[in-house]
Amino acid sequence: MRILGIETSCDETSAAVVEETGDAAAPWAMRSNVVASQVAIHSEWGGVVPELASRQHLRDICGVVDRALVEGGSTWRDLGAIAVTQGPGLVGSLLVGVSFAKAAAAAANLPLVAVHHLAGHIESLVLQNGELPLPAVVLVVSGGHTSLYLVERPGSYQLLSRTRDDAAGEAYDKVAKLLGLGYPGGPVIDRLAKSGNDRAIALPTTRLTHADRNAPELKGDLDFSFSGLKTAVLRHVRGRAADTPLPDQEIADIAASFQRVVVSALIERLFDAARRYGAKSVGVAGGVSANSRLRADLKERGERREIPTFLPSLALSTDNAAMIAAAGLRKLRAGHTASLELNADAALTL
Ligand code: KG4
Ligand code: ZN
């Protein structure tokens, strides 16, 4: 069975065809994954402009779906279902994908599956690597989220912790902005950090020990916090002579020092959680999982702890529809379909 996936939650219009393999250990194969990025449109404004994003999704969605079908060697008649991101994300953007998917499901008489964006990021690990040894602890780290999930059974995602303030990707984007490096910040900081000294600037690491009043069900000590770090970088930059631009080497040193603190906070909590929950594997997914230091440190730490570690390919790290199609197949096989009453939900919980 082949499924068409559609993802429009933020600034990427994406469609993909994913197929079931019949192999329980590696259940899905990607036939196509087309992504139309809006980065060039939003970088002019220093961040995603929701109104521009939804209008661009409208322009791109038909062409992106057509290409995903052609590249996936499929016609509408070859499909068994349509999966779409219901939320969370920008509501105007989500609505384009949800409306398109509903119309296509009605016209082609196909079942519709509503997917949570973060379930998509988690299932990108399975699409890439096959089923993970369970229980697994998965870190989802993107521009909007930094959360740890326990996966005890396939398709079950239990939230263990989350960020109290900024997401890690958001911190990358804000620090890049204040260094004058443009949007999105993650890839450029990642690149500049390679030529910087990661101990050049002393930046704080935040360790939370108390429960979150807003999430009393979570213990709290595995939570993340990145806004203090961002403020420390801001103070460091402001503390310099205001009218002299920062030399390139100092920018590289700030990028490297910032990245060291972010990556070590992510890795520490991930492996703490893995130990606490007796995980047989760990995974990292979401846009920030494209980070070269995070990828290297994860591998190194996994080898030291003798626990298998999993990552998506770079194309499956950032937002894409193949992961939504994969998560959609998981839900479809568990018997969950949506009606044509489906609505986008900007604050959908997993
Ligand atoms: O998952 P994603 O594509 O969209 C959201 O769901 O948010 O993640 C986008 C985020 C952005 O904040 C971007 O700066 C960050 O991922 N990112 C990176 C890298 N590539 C993308 N952060 C650090 N290093 C990278 N190489
Ligand atoms: Zn995402």
* DSSP state string for 274-333: HHHTT-SEEEEESGGGG-HHHHHHHHHHHHHHT--EE---HHHHSS-HHHHHHHHHHHHH
| Closest residue by CA, ligand 1 atom 19 | 186
pLDDT band at 47 (very low <50, low <70, confident <90, very high): confident
**To test the ligand 1 pocket, which listed residue (7, 142, 320, 350) has its Cβ within 8 A of the most ligand atoms?**
142
Q: How many Å lie between the centroid of ligand 1 and the Cα of residue 24?
A: 31
* Ligand lying nearest the CA atom of residue 255: 1
Q: How far is CA 21 from the centre of its chain?
A: 25
Model pLDDT, residue 241:
66
In angstroms, the CA 150 to CA 131 distance is: 14
| Closest residue by CA, ligand 1 atom 18 | 186
Cα torsion 299, 293, 291, 201 to 10°: value is 150
Mean pLDDT across the chain:
95
Whole-structure pTM value: 0.95
CB 176 within 8 A of CB 168: no
| Tens digit of each residue's pLDDT (9 = 90 or more) over 199-246 | 999 998 888 878 787 877 788 889 999 999 999 999 999 887 667 788
For residue 33 the two structure tokens come to 């994954």
- pLDDT, mean of residues 302-326: 97
Amino acid at 285: A
| Tens digit of each residue's pLDDT (9 = 90 or more) over 67-97 | 999 999 999 999 999 999 999 999 999 999 9
Model pLDDT, residue 210:
80
**To test the ligand 1 pocket, which listed residue (7, 90, 288) has its Cβ within 8 A of the most ligand atoms?**
288
In angstroms, the CA 286 to CA 116 distance is: 13
| Tens digit of each residue's pLDDT (9 = 90 or more) over 150-180 | 999 999 999 999 999 999 999 999 999 999 9
- pLDDT, mean of residues 13-41: 96
* Ligand lying nearest the CA atom of residue 324: 2
- Report the share of the chain in percent with pLDDT over 90: 88
In angstroms, the CA 229 to CA 204 distance is: 6
Q: How many Å lie between the centroid of ligand 2 and the Cα of residue 251?
A: 27
In angstroms, the CA 25 to CA 130 distance is: 6
Amino acid at 162: R
* Ligand lying nearest the CA atom of residue 117: 2
- Ligand 1 atom nearest 317 alpha carbon: 1
Model pLDDT, residue 311:
98
